[in-house]
Structure 1
Amino acid sequence: MSYCNYIPLMKEPGRSLHQNYHDHHYGFPIHDDNELFGRLILEINQAGLSWETILKKEEGFRKAYDNFNLKKVAAYTEKDRERLLADPGIIRNKLKVNAAIENAKVILQLQKEYGSFENWLEHHHPKTKEEWVKLFKKTFRFTGGEIVNEFLMSIGYLSGAHSESCPVHGEILKMKPMWLKK
């Protein structure tokens, strides 16, 4: 069952969270590197947990990680790591916290080489899910198959975010550049 069809079967308050994410975020292109980084942080933190848990904590993540500001997060110190591991507004997992900080540093390097994280993604598009997973595992920390798949679907680089009969699917297609419709 697709996400689109599953949401109506959910109970509140989770249903509203999922509906908002589905209607306004899931599968939509993101052109801001800080927001792309933020989505990657959220997807990494979802590993082993429900997406609803992450949606409920999104504002906590924004606050804890300086609104996903790449330069600030890449400069985090040991004191910042300790602060994050003590913050009940996020997922307090050392591997995930370390991945966020290290991945911010990697993205800054990609920006130097490609101009932006988005350009790096575009440079490698199109790829199969398996090719993307291999590339992400080589490039980033804490990026297994499901994390990479959901991250790329959530930003429109892999298909499957919405069923073709979903009205949001049509909206997203209108927004994508031609090369991304491949």
Structure 2
Amino acid sequence: MKRCVWVTKEQLYIDYHDKEWGVPVYDDQRLFEMLCLEGAQAGLSWWTILQKRENYRLAFDHFEAEKIVQYTDEKVQSLLSDSGIVRNRLKIQSVITNAKSYLKMKELHGSFSNYIWNFVENKPIINHWATKEDVPATTELSDRMSKQLKKDGFKFVGSTICYSFMQAVGMVNDHTLECFCHPSNNFVDTKNI
């Protein structure tokens, strides 16, 4: 079974690739979690964050924005001493800031999913890349999304982070053509993660 060449032999990475990456996500809380995790990845590898994902869920109350917006300075200090996450004050603070913006967008658009999926007109973009070198790090769409998210108060949402986020939550399917997960290979996973 052929996979995208970036997948390592680590089972956690294989499972992430096979069951999550590129699969459309419409659940508000999962979308918020992935946006925060992609922001945490800035300057690091996704593998680093993926290994810490369960720790992040515990540290940030399973990404329940309503709880996160209540975080005090004491909570921030405890997060800064948590070795299970990336201990970067700006990244930790961005989750709190993003929780506020997330709740605002949820209120304005009926759901965060409505807000975020509107960038791709509510339909996943299926690309047909032959090699991983063909896959862009940013696009005009990720530039636009980044600009709008920043305008709406989000942090750690540069164009590269936005494009990685879109790939992760299935707004964009960038599995290469030879990968068994590419839609042209008749792989269908209706599980909404």
TM range (shorter): 0.7 to 0.9
1:180: which partner in 2?
Answer: none
Change (3 A) 1:81 1:172: farther
Name stretches of at least 5 consecutive residues in structure 1 with no aligned partner. Answer: 177-182
Asked whether the 8 Å contact 1:25–1:154 carries over to 2, the reply is yes
What is the distance in 2 between the residues matched to 1:83 and 1:31? 31
What is the distance in 2 between the residues matched to 1:136 and 1:98? 16
What is the distance in 1 between the residues matched to 2:189 and 2:59? 34
1:138-149 counterparts in 2 under 5 A?
A: 138-139=151-152, 140-149=154-163
> Structure 1 residue 16: deviation in Å?
1.6
1:77 aligned to which of 64, 72, 76: 72
Higher relative contact order (CA 8 A, sep 6+): 2
- Greater helix fraction, Structure 1 or Structure 2: 1
What is the distance in 1 between the residues matched to 2:38 and 2:6? 19
2:113: which partner in 1?
Answer: 118
Q: Deviations over 1:14-60 (max 9, x none)?
A: x2221111011111111221111111111111111111111110110
1:57: which partner in 2?
Answer: 52
What is the distance in 2 between the residues matched to 1:173 and 1:20? 15
Change (3 A) 1:124 1:52: closer
1:92-171 counterparts in 2 under 5 A?
A: 92-126=87-121, 128-139=141-152, 140-160=154-174, 162-170=175-183
Q: CA RMSD in A?
A: 2.1
Question: How many residues are aligned here?
Answer: 168
1:86: which partner in 2?
Answer: 81
Determine helix, strand or coil for the equivalent of 2:172.
Answer: coil
Mean Cα displacement is larger for which, 138-147 or 61-70? Answer: 138-147
Asked whether the 8 Å contact 1:37–1:68 carries over to 2, the reply is yes
Asked whether the 8 Å contact 2:119–2:141 carries over to 1, the reply is no
What is the distance in 2 between the residues matched to 1:93 and 1:103? 15
1:145 maps to amino acid:
S
1:4: which partner in 2?
Answer: 4
Change (3 A) 1:148 1:173: farther
Name stretches of at least 5 consecutive residues in structure 2 with no aligned partner. Answer: 122-139
> Structure 1 residue 175: deviation in Å?
4.6
TM-score (norm: length of structure 2): 0.79
TM-score (norm: length of structure 1): 0.84
- Quick one: percent identity of the two aligned structures? 38
